[in-house]
Structure 1
Amino acid sequence: MKEVGRKVNVVLRMQILKNGLPGKVSIAVPSGYKSINDAAIAAAKKWKFEPAKDNEGRPIVCLTILTIPFTVE
């Protein structure tokens, strides 16, 4: 298969909740492979992040963009 070894990226748009867990996760820029896009979303939903904080140090909800690299196998 010609695609094996090809490097692709999935760019996710993610909401990070006050507790550091992901909220809404969606594809901002697809990889071109549905299975890789789905795997990126599934993985990101399992992660825990350091929550953003306001000027007084209180956790707040934020939106971020996250790029996840993959190698096609």
Structure 2
Amino acid sequence: MIVAFLYTKDIALINGVCSKTARQYIHDINAQYQLPSHKFVSLKAYCDYFMADERHVIARLEAKYGKDGG
């Protein structure tokens, strides 16, 4: 699975939070790195913000959605 961007549902899953909190995280990450306001963030920006290992984030998503993303 190639992950480029994380959306609200992905962040809610990874962090174990509700959608509203996940949306706030997206807003906070975009503000922190002075990125345009979007409904998603890059995997790199997410991992930098939360000091998370990209491999662990991808593994968490693959555990939920499978390696093919479906």
TM-score, normalised with respect to structure 1: 0.30
Q: Which has the higher strand share?
A: 1
Bigger radius of gyration among the two: 1
Whichever structure has more helix as a proportion of its residues is 2
Q: Provide TM-score, normalisation by structure 2.
A: 0.31
